[in-house]
Amino acid sequence: MKAHGQAHKYGDNIDTDVIIPARYLNTSDPKELGALCMIDIDQDFVKKVQSGDIMVGGYNFGCGSSREHAPIAIKASGIDCVIAKSFARIFYRNAINIGLAILECEEASDKIETGDEISIDFDSGIITNHTKNESYQANAFPDFIKEIIVCNGLINKLKKESIHE
């Protein structure tokens, strides 16, 4: 498993209401949520994001309410992975459940800047910043999390398993 794209960097305590404001939660359509992702702090976010890009945050990324809409909006916007110093636990679980790759890596969060070209090897946990010619080490995903992400979420993984039983 690998990812490659440009970085979009935000700070500490990016909460679920910043990721997708509550006023837009009258839908659960991923396309609509993705089109409104980060709108209150970065009006041009969805115009700048290319499929495969990487979001970078600081401490406590995804804090706030337990809504699944936040990781769905990030994934639907085109982001392949979120790197942060730490994640709110409910956001972490919701992200994995919907198949959004997330990595905790303090050094990467500190050193990566918006626009840097980043690649990630999820098998080794190595994050490479091609712009700065640097590498950072995150924990590699265990196999069961890789399977969930490859299947595009926990529900799809369970459906796949039930077909093979």
User: Global pTM?
Assistant: 0.93
More confident residue, 133 or 145: 133
Q: Where residue 1 falls among pLDDT bands split at 50, 70, 90?
A: confident
Residue 157 one-letter amino acid? K
pLDDT in tens, 89-141: 999 999 999 999 999 999 999 999 999 999 999 999 999 999 999 999 999 88
CB 139, CB 104: distance < 8 Å: yes
Handedness of CA 98, 130, 104, 46 (dihedral sign): negative
Q: Where residue 41 falls among pLDDT bands split at 50, 70, 90?
A: very high
Q: What is the pLDDT of residue 31?
A: 95
Residue 121 has phi, psi (to 5 degrees) of -105, 105
pLDDT in tens, 28-37: 899 999 999 9
Is residue 81's pLDDT more than 80? yes
Mean of the per-residue pLDDT values of the chain: 94
Nearest CA among 52, 146, 38 for reference residue 96:
146
Q: What is the pLDDT of residue 165?
A: 61
Nearest CA among 158, 115, 118, 152 for reference residue 135:
118
